[in-house]
Amino acid sequence: MSNVDTLRAIYSRWEQGDFGTSLPLFHETVTLTVDPDIPDGGTYEGTDGVRAYTATFLETWDLLTIAAKSFEAVGDQVLVAVGQAGTGQGSGVPVELEYFQLWTFSGDKVVRLEVIMSEERAREALGPAA
């Protein structure tokens, strides 16, 4: 299965609100970098860091879906354009966002995941081959 196929399956589950399905994909030393323009942005290390960030992130939503709009593979990286929709915890306010996720694989495990708000910065992170 290609990295894109693997991610298609993950986003298919995320579109249904099932966010736990991706945890086995991460290498134990994974680095998660969340854009500083996003609440709780920063760097999270290891699978424990990913779990901690995900738990905090999910607490802010009553309802949430994350869908892939496109996939672009370059070497061991996959850039995904993402659409997120949900309602804020307790407020019921609908929120829609678009951003990018850059996944870096080593073999069949993700060693780095970057959440980036702007396409320009996402393409810079992807590198000159994009």
Q: Summarize pLDDT for 20-43 with one digit per residue, the tens.
A: 888 899 999 999 999 998 888 999
Domain range annotation of the chain: 3-125
CA angle, residues 96, 102, 105, in degrees to nearest 5: 140
Architecture of domain 3-125: Roll (3.10)
Kindly report the backbone phi and psi dihedral angles of residue 86, in degrees, each rounded to the nearest multiple of 5, phi listed first. Answer: -175, 180
Average pLDDT, the chain: 92
Residues whose CB falls within 8 Å of the CB of residue 20, separated by 6 or more in sequence, listed in order = none
Lowest-pLDDT range, 42-46, 55-59, 121-125?
A: 55-59
Confidence of residue 4 (pLDDT cuts 50, 70, 90): very high
